[in-house]
Every structure is written in structure tokens, then in C-alpha cells.
Structure 1
Amino acid sequence: MQDASNVMQLLLKTQSDLNNMEDDDPQTSYMVSAWARMCKILGKDFQQYLPLVIEPLIKTASAKPDVALLDTQDVENMSDDDGWQFVNLGDQQSFGIKTSGLEAKATACQMLVYYAKELREGFVEYTEQVVKLMVPLLKFYFHDNVRVAAAESMPFLLECARIRGPEYLAQMWQFICDPLIKAIGTEPDTDVLSEIMNSFAKSIEVMGDGCLNDEHLEELGGILKAKLEGHFKNQELRQVKRQEENYDQQVEMSLQDEDECDVYILTKVSDILHSLFSTYREKILPWFEQLLPLIVNLICSSRPWPDRQWGLCIFDDIIEHCSPTSFKYVEYFRWPMLLNMRDNNPEVRQAAAYGLGVMAQFGGDDYRSLCSEAVPLLVKVIKCANSKTKKNVIATENCISAIGKILKFKPNCVNVDEVLPHWLSWLPLHEDKEEAIQTLSFLCDLIESNHPVVIGPNNSNLPKIISIIAEGKINETINYEDPCAKRLANVVRQVQTSEDLWLECVSQLDDEQQEALEELINFA
């Protein structure tokens, strides 16, 4: 940091020299990257330099590519070093584009994304100019990375626009929304498409409830329906190719690559639906019903496991964000949710276990019998011999968390006193941070109410509880900004008031655990 000011002066001198250089000078793209790296180091302090950096950056990002229509003979006379690429248009003519400028344009676009993301308030005055540049670039088919950057920028630019108030934000969204939806329907490249879909999902979360009008929803519904129908059709075509004469290992590898691309797009359909359910909640369900038969098809037992995983994730979102209305779809997902608890693939088990947990947490009384049925299935997964292996641990932790949610939110459908000692013995959770903090929060509820089963006769469970809290700190599950951290620190302080009890607890901890507890009570 002490050298930053001197380095910035050198960069500024070079920047002023660049203004007199040719547009395709190789220093330009290196300067663009150098500024971004300095921004990463300086953070908000970089804001003062932004006016000097932004104009050349926007100029590079706005550059129109050099294109030419040449006779085939002229193309043959050009050297490969000239940086042109050509596509034949019949026998006589070729269409050419200069690629060196495209790389600089893509880099500049990516840097604009970076500044919008890092500087937020400091970037506000450039937001409108950059949005007007980026939205048309969603259709810049000369270079994939330009379209990726254009898509990626949208939620960050909306975050910047939000600082100027709701009216300004609404105007910007009006400019962005329609082209972004259309790009989902027309983008030919799978990698770029996934970025556009991801950007759209994040943008909905920035904008919130009511951000899409009826026309947008209708168009989006048609596009997502086409994506899902295409997903099933492609699977059928791959099965046909596996029966053909020329089928071999190389063909299979190619088919598996295609399948991975299809599944990745399916995850992005799930992301868009997640953002709609989490912002619109049950109001979006009438619109969603056009897709319902296709989502039900995903969770059929005959489908490949990634289909079942993502189909269950979509129903998980409906249960979590649209309860108790979600119960009207229960017959579609009841048996798939329970049966997939026995699936060989941990990703499928995790999706099923998470769904059973949110049923208990958000689902209302209608879900009581389903929660009762779930408990023995969840216990069976947890007690399986290899449940804590690296491959299986996250699914298992979701099962432990789901049982915690059933104990907390649906205590009348399970024998709490019988299950609680087992649940306590399965803690702490290490891998799934979100579920881990939920289990610690429930543990605080139980301790603060002096639950006799959890505290144990003569405080016999307190050493175990203290070690769970220490592990939570070591695993970085406990975040000081979370109210749970203060509650856990208070539990430790309470135990410290009894010297004998505290000594007994500490004697069972190693040095790292003791240091973790000390840090927790000092900072929480």
C-alpha cells in the first residue's frame, strides 16, 4: 500500500502517453488489466482515479470491429500476421473481421464489469453510459466474451442504479429487461447462454417482486418451456445415437459432453425459477403451472439422476417460498421426495433431505404426516456406515439439519425426547455452512430453555455442547455478524461461571478448540 501512490503516478503517465498511440497498440489491453488490479488492491480508494481510467476504457469497449468484404484472391494475399479471420461467402468472396481489436474490446468490457462490482457508489455516475453500451452487446456475435461481459454486468449495474433511487432503477430495468429475456431465447452458445440466464436470475433478485410485466412473463414462460422440452428431446436423441452402428467410446465421450452442457442449462433454469419463487412467492404459481408437467417429468424414477436432483431442487424452492400454498402440489413430489432419500447419488439425497427440512420449517400443518414418515428415512441415511465420507457428507448433514427442523417446527409429529440425544450426538456439522448455523441456532434454543434432555443429568452433556461450539468456530460456521454468535458466546460465559464445570469442559478440549472459544467470547 505504501508504494501504491507512486505506482499510480507511473500508470497515469503511461495512460496519458497512450492517448497518442494507435488504437491497436498492445500496451492498451495491458493498461486496462493493470488498472483493474490496482482497483482490487485499493478498493474504494481507487475511486479518485476512475475519471482518468473510465473514458479510454469505454472508448475501447465501444470500438466497432474492423470488417471487410474481400475477393477470395485478395484474402490469399494477406498474411496470417495481419490479425484477420475470414469466412467464405461462396466461391468469390470472403467476409473478414480483425480479431486483435476484439480481444481488447472483450477485456475492456470485462473491466467495466469489475469496476461496477467493486466500486458501486463510486461507479454510479457512469452507470447509464455503460448500460447503453452493454445492452446492445448482448447481440455482439463476433466475440463470445464480449457477450458474457455484457450479461455479467447487468445485476451490478442495477445495484449501482439502485443508489440513485427507485425511479432511476425502474427506468434502467425497463431498458435492460426485454433484451435480456430475448437473449435467453436466441443465444447460440451454451457457455454464454448460461451466463445470460445467471445474470437474469440475479437481476430479478435485485429488482424484487413485480419487476416483470405480463408480456415479459409470457415470453419467459415460452422460452423456459422450450429449454425444458429441448432438454428431454436431446436426451432421446442421444439414446438413439447409442444404438447406431458407428457408436463407440469416442461417440460416447462426445454424447456425455453434450449431456453435461444440457444439465448445466437445466441448473440455470432452476436458478431463474428460484429467483422468481423467492421474490414473487405464491403469486408466481399460476404462471409456473405451464411448466409443472415438465418439472414433474424431471423427478420420474426413470430419469437420469441430475434431472431428479434439479427437479427436486425446484420443488424445494416451491415448498420453501410458497408455503403453505405449496401443499396443493404434494401428490407430485411426495413419493419422489421420500424414495429419493434412498438414491445412490448423494446430490439427489441432499435435494430430497433439504426438501423434507423446509417442509417442516415452512410447510404448515398439512405436512405433519409427511414429516413423520421422513424421520426414519433421514435417520437411516445418517447411520449408514459411509455417511461421513467426502462424497456423502453434505447429503448427510442436510439429513441431520432436516431432523433438527422437524424437532423444532413439527415437534408434535415425532418423539422429541427420544430423537434429541441422537441429533445432539451427530453434531457439529462441518461442510454445509448454511445448515450448520441453523443447527447451532436450534441448539441455542434448547440450551436457553434448559431442555433437560440436551443439558443432560447433572449437566453431563455440557462438555459435548462446548466442543460443538468450539468446532463451529474452528470451521468458520460462526459469523460474528450473525445473532447466533452472541448467543453461543453467552452459553460459554454461563458455563464459565461454574469453575468445576468449566474445568471439566476444558479438559476435554485441545489447544485449538480452547483458542477458538477464547476468541468467540472476546469478539461476540
Structure 2
Amino acid sequence: MVQEGALTALASAADSSQEHFQKYYDAVMPYLKSILMNATDKSNRMLRAKSMECISLVGMAVGKQKFKDDAKQVMEVLMTLQGSQMEADDPITSYMLQAWARLCKCLGQDFLPYMNVVMPPLLQSAQLKPDVSVTSAGPEDENGESDDEGVETITLGDKRIGIRTSLLEEKATACNMLCCYADELKEGFFPWIDQVATTLVPLLKFYFHEEVRKAAVSAMPELLRSAKLAIEKSQSQGRDESYLKQLSDYIVPALVEAIHKEPDTQICASMLESLNESIQLSGTLLEEGQVRSIVDGIKEVITASALRRRERTDRAKAEDFDSEEEDLLREENEQEDEIFDQIGDCLGTLVKTFKTYFLPFFDELSVYLTPMLAKDKTVEERRIAICIFDDVAEHCREAAVRYYDTYLPSLLEACTSENPDIRQAAVYGIGICAEFGGSAFRPHTGEALSRLYNVIKHPNALDLDNAMAYDNAVSALGKICQFHRDGIDASQVVPAWLSCLPIKNDLIEAKIVHEQLCTMLEKSDRELLGHNNQYLPKIVSIFAEILCAGKDLATEQTFSKMVNLLRQLQTTLPPSVLASTWSSLQPQQQLALQSVLSS
């Protein structure tokens, strides 16, 4: 027992310290291997199992280079063990499954030669049938306890159902390991995809054990990814994209069907997450009928979620409602929000993948989405509804204009939301509509400017929580300057936009905005430069700040443009203007510019 405890402690230390454990490696590994090789008595089974766990965790901690020579010896021992006859209750079986998976994680593609040894027993464990017994229940069975510690029982009506948990735990471990191998080996896992898919897809509805379902759910996109990469890298044994479609046709409908029937909200959210990844990987291989079933499935999830929320609201009104129940409701609502988050991701992926072809489905979904914009809905519901419209506006462009009258008023109103995530989604959408909406956006320009100014000028606009909303509002303001110049007082709006630069938190928007600034300067934009180049010092200081930040705030192309523009200014500006501009910079900015311009 002492040795087992020591091994557990050592494994924990290695797992916590990771590469820092390398300095102890040479001292401990010989002892660990000695236990693995010599603790062969039945009385030492757990000790040997713990040595496997410890070795594999130490190997993962120190990394492949340090561990690879010892790894070969360890795997030889494991292969010998795997080929031997072990008793049903031998703990080594479960520990070995996990040790193999850790060794795979450590060695990566170098683990592939061992897969032919690892996979057969792993698949066998994953395919274990639940050991279920059904008997008549008496009054004494109501507590659901069994005389056998290894059996869990539930009473349904007059039936008592017993399930042997050890088998289920082995099955769950094996399913998790299969997912781990697919994730780690990527295209190298291709030879086992068919066997694993036919094993795990039915387990999406394995209601005896949550961990089995979770593992099956997590594995679905990994199998598709493995197939896709193998085909792309010509490692698919002659199979082409039709194989990926065949696999997708098997996995995606099964996921959709499982989502309908999933009783656990957390697993439902995980299923939606896996579905989203599967849609991304399948792309346009999905047929219209499959998209239809996905959309119908999402409608059902939204409806079921709304029903659960109403039930929780009713529970909160009950006379015996207490703080414990309140905590439980809060937790359940958070899980519900996660479902909506995943719904948003799924629909966003469908919009990005199918663009205008998805609009007939969006028309149907609008009946579900527009009520989610109401102020009495949760933050997550409102944010998701706005984000889905943002995706439609961005990826369907002119074709999405017909939805502006329905959604834009809600976006403009959401700019004043107290929640920064809602504000960010709203101002981002306004920017998208300004960019692609053309004349349809023009009637909203005045109100949009007012709302964006409110976001930008808020006293706490630059607080960390609000910074992303601020950056997106600045970006949206820039798009109004770019695409609706004739509908605004540019002499006021452009300098207001310039005064907000550079933006530094949303790095995607930062790159777009700073490229726009360069383009405007290249064109000698009159409102940007101002009367007698009055805003030039500000522009140069913005450039200096961006250049000081390295490549975070601008693409390489924008970076080069800035340097070229600064060099042009050096040669074209009168010396007095140049000196005045230079003197307005901070010392570190001056140094940064000197360094860049002299290189």
C-alpha cells in the first residue's frame, strides 16, 4: 500500500510539474521499470498497475525526446501483458488501456506501429454489452440499493433493474481511449475508422452510462477529421472524398437523432458542439435533406429548452422554493445557456458553409430567433439571436438586406445593453450592415452613429469587460465612414473615428481597421488629414503605436504599407511639419520609428 501511494504521489508530481520533471527522470525511471517488470505476483497486481500509470504520466510530462528509449521497453512489457490471459477483476486491464493512450499522446505518430496490438482488445472492451438483470421489485427495493457493491439498481414500476458497473466503467474507459487515439493520431488513425465508427455511433444513445455517451459524442468529429486529413494527405488507402461523405452520412444523422432524445442538458450541449464540428468537417458534402434534419433538430432543441425554462420559472414561484433550489435552478439555466451557445455555433457554421442557400432555412428559424431578441430573454439567448443574424448579414451580404427591417432595430437597441457581450454582437452587426447593406442601411445611419458614439464614449468603455465592444464599435464607425461617407458629416465623424485609434483588444478587427487607415492615407483622404494636415501627428503616432506592438495589431501587408507611408512622409513633408510631428511622439515611439525606418 505504501508503494502504491508513493507511485500515485510521484505520478501526480510529474503531471503537475510537466517538463520540469526531467531533472528527476533518470533517477526514478529505472525503479518504475523494475516494478513494472518484476511485480508479477497476484498480490502485486495493483502495484504493477500503478507503475504503468506512473510511467505513462512521467513520459507525458518529460516529453517524447527524453522518454522514447524507455518507452520501447515499456511497450514491449505491455504488449506481453496484453497477450497474456488476465482475470476478469485484474485492475491491470483498465490501467493498461489508459497507459497505452498516454503513451500514444506522448509519442504521437511514432506510436502507430503498436496500434495493431492496442486496438483489438480496446474495441472488445468498447463493445462490451451491459450486464443487466431485471427482477420483480418488492417494497424493500425502493431505495435502489443492491447487496452486490458492483451492481447499481433502479426501480421502475414493479421492476428492479440491476446494472453491473465494472463492465460499464471498462466500456467507458475504452470509448474514451478510442477518442483519444483518433484525436492524437489524426490521419494515422484512418485504418481503424470503420470499426470505431460502427462501435461508437450506436453508443450515442447508450443510456446506461453517461461517460460512454460522452466519449462517443467526442469521437464523432475526430473520426471525420481523421478521414478528411488522410484523404488530403493521400494516406487513405485509395479512398477519396466519397468515403468522407459516406462517413458523414453515417455520423451526422445519428448525432441529430441522438440530440432529440438526449435527457441530459450537458451532454446535449456536447452533442451540439460535436455536430458543429462535424458540419465544419463535412462542409458542402451535406445534402439539403441533411441540413433540413439538422435545422428541424435545432428547432426541437429550442422548443424543449424554452419549455424547461418555463418550468423552472414556475418552480421559482413555488411556496417551498429555497436557496438550495435557487442554486440548482441557476446551474440548470447555465447549462441551458451552453445549449444556446452551441446552437448559435451550429447555425453560424451552416450559414458560413451554405451562404445564400441557407436562407430558406433561416426564414423558418426566424420564427424561433426573433422572440429571443426580446429584453425579457436571457443574455445568452439575445446574444445568440444577434450573432446568427450577424452571420447571415456577413455571409449572405446583399441577399440578407431583406432581414434588416426585422433585425436592425433590435441591434440598435442592443447597443445600450448593460451586457458587454450583447453590445459587442450588436455593434459588430451594425458594422456588417454598414459594409454590405448599401442603400438599405442608409436610413439607419444617423441612429447607428448615435448608438456607436454612446458605446465609444461611455465612461467605462475601455475597461477590460467593455474593450471588445469598444473595438467593434470603432470598427463599425470606420465602416460607416468608408461606405456611407455621403450620408454623414465626414469632417466630424472621420476625426472622431481617428481619435479612437489604434484599437488593441479585438485583434481581428484591429487588423481590418488599421488596414483601412492605411488605405485612406494612401488616398490622401481629405477628412482624415484635416485642414493643413492637422491630424497628421495623430496618424503618425497611431502608426508608431502599431509598429511598437509588433505584428499583433496589423498584418504584414499593413505593416509594410505603414513603413512605406512613413518613408513617403519623410521625403514629402516640409522639415518644419516633420519636426513638429516627430516631437509630438513619445520617446519610445520615436525610437521604434527610427528603428523601422532605418532598416
Give the shorter-chain TM-score range: 0.7 to 0.9
* Structure 2 Cα separation of the partners of residues 419 and 11 of structure 1: 69
Mapped pair 1:207 → 2:282: yes
Instruction: Give the aligned partner of residue 86 of structure 1.
Output: 153
Please give the residue correspondences for 1:340-419 in structure 2 after superposition, counting only pairs within 5 Å.
340-419=414-493
Following TM superposition, by how much is the alpha carbon of 1:210 offset from its aligned partner in structure 2, in angstroms? 5.8
The 1:226/1:423 distance shift into structure 2, 3 A limit, reads same
Please give the residue correspondences for 1:40-119 in structure 2 after superposition, counting only pairs within 5 Å.
40-69=105-134, 78-80=147-149, 83-88=150-155, 94-119=160-185
Once the two structures are superposed, residues 357-393 of structure 1 have per-residue CA deviations (whole angstroms, 9 ceiling, x without a partner) of 1112333432233244312211111111011112222
Q: Which amino acid is the alignment partner of residue 404 of structure 1?
A: G
Q: How many residues align?
A: 511
* Unpaired segments ≥5 residues, structure 2: 1-63, 232-238
**Which secondary structure state, in structure 2, belongs to the residue aligned with residue 208 of structure 1?**
helix
- Please give the root-mean-square deviation of Cα atoms over the aligned residues, in Å: 3.5
- Asked if the contact 1:454/1:461 (under 8 Å) is kept, the reply is no
Following TM superposition, by how much is the alpha carbon of 1:77 offset from its aligned partner in structure 2, in angstroms? 8.1
Instruction: Give the aligned partner of residue 60 of structure 2.
Output: none
Instruction: Give the aligned partner of residue 78 of structure 2.
Output: 15
* Unpaired segments ≥5 residues, structure 1: 479-483
Say which of 526, 529, 541 aligns to 1:464: 541
Say which of 340, 346, 351 aligns to 1:277: 351
Q: Which amino acid is the alignment partner of residue 508 of structure 1?
A: Q
Instruction: Give the aligned partner of residue 323 of structure 1.
Output: 397
* Structure 2 Cα separation of the partners of residues 48 and 224 of structure 1: 42
Following TM superposition, by how much is the alpha carbon of 1:168 offset from its aligned partner in structure 2, in angstroms? 0.9
- Asked if the contact 2:171/2:212 (under 8 Å) is kept, the reply is yes
* Structure 2 Cα separation of the partners of residues 46 and 336 of structure 1: 54
Mapped pair 1:145 → 2:250: no
* Structure 1 Cα separation of the partners of residues 146 and 537 of structure 2: 88
Once the two structures are superposed, residues 176-233 of structure 1 have per-residue CA deviations (whole angstroms, 9 ceiling, x without a partner) of 222111111111111111111111122112222361343x444444432232233333
* Structure 2 Cα separation of the partners of residues 335 and 11 of structure 1: 65
* Structure 2 Cα separation of the partners of residues 54 and 514 of structure 1: 57
* Structure 1 Cα separation of the partners of residues 215 and 436 of structure 2: 38
Mapped pair 1:198 → 2:289: no
Q: Which amino acid is the alignment partner of residue 193 of structure 1?
A: C
**Which secondary structure state, in structure 2, belongs to the residue aligned with residue 324 of structure 1?**
helix
* Structure 1 Cα separation of the partners of residues 117 and 134 of structure 2: 37
- 130-139 or 297-306: which moved more? 297-306
Instruction: Give the aligned partner of residue 189 of structure 1.
Output: 264
Highest RCO, 1 vs 2 (Cα 8 Å, sep ≥ 6): 1
The 1:422/1:30 distance shift into structure 2, 3 A limit, reads farther
TM-score, length-normalised on structure 2? 0.76
Residue identity over aligned pairs, in percent, reads: 34
* Structure 2 Cα separation of the partners of residues 350 and 194 of structure 1: 24
Q: Which amino acid is the alignment partner of residue 389 of structure 1?
A: D
Please give the residue correspondences for 1:244-263 in structure 2 after superposition, counting only pairs within 5 Å.
244-263=318-337
Following TM superposition, by how much is the alpha carbon of 1:279 offset from its aligned partner in structure 2, in angstroms? 1.3
Q: Which amino acid is the alignment partner of residue 166 of structure 1?
A: E
The 1:448/1:102 distance shift into structure 2, 3 A limit, reads farther
- Asked if the contact 2:547/2:559 (under 8 Å) is kept, the reply is no
* Structure 2 Cα separation of the partners of residues 350 and 77 of structure 1: 54
Mapped pair 1:30 → 2:108: no
Instruction: Give the aligned partner of residue 481 of structure 1.
Output: none
Q: Which amino acid is the alignment partner of residue 537 of structure 2?
A: S
Instruction: Give the aligned partner of residue 12 of structure 2.
Output: none
Mapped pair 1:473 → 2:550: yes
Say which of 203, 223, 242 aligns to 1:157: 223
- 159-168 or 331-340: which moved more? 159-168
* Structure 2 Cα separation of the partners of residues 53 and 473 of structure 1: 47
**Which secondary structure state, in structure 2, belongs to the residue aligned with residue 289 of structure 1?**
helix
Once the two structures are superposed, residues 8-65 of structure 1 have per-residue CA deviations (whole angstroms, 9 ceiling, x without a partner) of 2133123213312345533344344344444444444444444443334333323333
- 415-424 or 455-464: which moved more? 455-464
**Which secondary structure state, in structure 1, belongs to the residue aligned with residue 126 of structure 2?**
helix
* Structure 2 Cα separation of the partners of residues 161 and 121 of structure 1: 6
**Which secondary structure state, in structure 1, belongs to the residue aligned with residue 163 of structure 2?**
strand
Instruction: Give the aligned partner of residue 495 of structure 2.
Output: 421
Following TM superposition, by how much is the alpha carbon of 1:89 offset from its aligned partner in structure 2, in angstroms? 5.2
**Which secondary structure state, in structure 2, belongs to the residue aligned with residue 303 of structure 1?**
coil
- Asked if the contact 1:235/1:259 (under 8 Å) is kept, the reply is yes
- Asked if the contact 2:514/2:558 (under 8 Å) is kept, the reply is no
